[in-house]
Amino acid sequence: MSADDSQTCHNCEYLWTADHIARLAQAESDATEAYGTGGSEVYDGLRRRVFVVEAENFDDGITLYSYEEFWIDEDGEFGVSYNASCRRCGFDFKFKTTEQIDFPQDGTKLAADEE
């Protein structure tokens, strides 16, 4: 059996936030350096750039896709695997584990809470 899911990639959000902070700092620095040196039109244009960068929002479109699967084979191996990957930033995570289930050989029913 398997199931699919999707959500916003938090790694993309983190990378965007770090980049946004750097771009905002650069825009503010450019405006500060231009103050009193290039005329009011240059300074005003650079200040407008600061406002544009400040107003930017993270595009939180769905980019992280996950897939989970589990199985029980005829030999009693129970397995679970999870995969998550982002098409934008390349984040990729895989987890898989298996455990042996000892089925009764005498035909008795295995109770739901037995391990």
Give 22-41 pLDDT, tens digit per residue.
989 999 998 888 888 878 88
Q: Which residue has the higher pLDDT, 1 or 57?
A: 57
- The predicted pLDDT at position 111 comes to 66
- The predicted pLDDT at position 26 comes to 92
Q: Which residue has the higher pLDDT, 1 or 53?
A: 53
Residue 75 has pLDDT above 80, yes or no: yes
Alpha-helical regions (H) of the chain: 10-34, 39-55
Largest separation between any pair of C-alpha atoms in the chain: 92
Confidence of residue 60 (pLDDT cuts 50, 70, 90): low
CB 97 within 8 A of CB 70: no
Amino acid 100 reads Q
Total count of residues recorded for the chain:
115
- The predicted pLDDT at position 51 comes to 87
